[in-house]
Chains A and B, each alone.
Chain A
Amino acid sequence: EVQLVESGGGLVKPGGSLRLSCAASGFTFSNAWMSWVRQAPGKGLEWVGRIKSKTDGGTTDYAAPVKGRFTISRDDSKNTLYLQMNSLKTEDTAVYYCTTHRSGSFDYWGQGTLVTVSS
């Protein structure tokens, strides 16, 4: 059974940093492309970024609002995905979901972790 468990969310001040983690199990993590998707309170879904598997180059792509501030990385030895968030803004407040990324879609989702950016 595929499981994705996010952690690391919390309250942070504007301009601060936070690192989210996503522990994966139930599939071959090293072969998977992974994405982060966020959802602001009461709002719709927003794609944050994606990382390819190392065999496919391990490259990343990001949405314009987070490019240059957020970094996605992976540790295949720990089956863990990361999202490093710097220079946080109030508009980054959202539930952040970790997802597997297959056939151009987001096929498995974690339960999400809430990030609140507020002074």
Chain B
Amino acid sequence: QSALTQPASVSGSPGQSITISCTGTSSDVGGYKYVSWYQQHPGKAPKLMIYNVSNRPSGVSNRFSGSKSGNTASLTISGLQAEDEADYYCSSYTSSSTWVFGGGTKLTVL
């Protein structure tokens, strides 16, 4: 099972919006609602930000939103803040009853 495809890096200025894409196939992202997104700051454990494509866990800012179209899922962060600078990973359930992560995207807040 190949890793999902994410851009290696994205950047934006405070207050702006950015979108991170996560491309898979019909056997993973395109075939299931179990797409999730994780934020990881350096030296820390990942944190769940979005589950089931577009749902936010309690306590996660509504500046974070998720969507999916076909085989590509997206994470949008609006009103960028300095604390959003981190690595972001997508994940999806697969037709092999396994889970696969994206390669990760480094977000830089300029």
User: How near does chain A come to B78, taking the closest CB pair, in angstroms?
Assistant: 22
User: Does the CB pair A45–B45 fall under 8 Å?
Assistant: no
Tell me how many residue pairs across A and B have CB atoms closer than 8 Å: 64
Interface size of B by CB at 8 A reads: 27
B102: nearest residue on chain A (CB-CB)?
A: A44
- Chain B residues numbered 46-103 whose CB sits less than 8 Å from any CB in chain A: 46-48, 51-52, 55, 57, 89, 91, 93, 97-103
- Inter-chain contact A104/B34, CB cutoff 8 Å: yes
The answer to whether B89 touches A107, judged by C-beta atoms less than 8 angstroms apart, is no
User: Can you name 18 A-B pairs with beta carbons within 8 Å?
Assistant: A44-B103, A44-B104, A45-B40, A45-B46, A45-B89, A45-B101, A45-B104, A47-B91, A47-B100, A97-B46, A103-B34, A103-B52, A103-B55, A104-B32, A104-B36, A105-B36, A105-B48, A112-B45
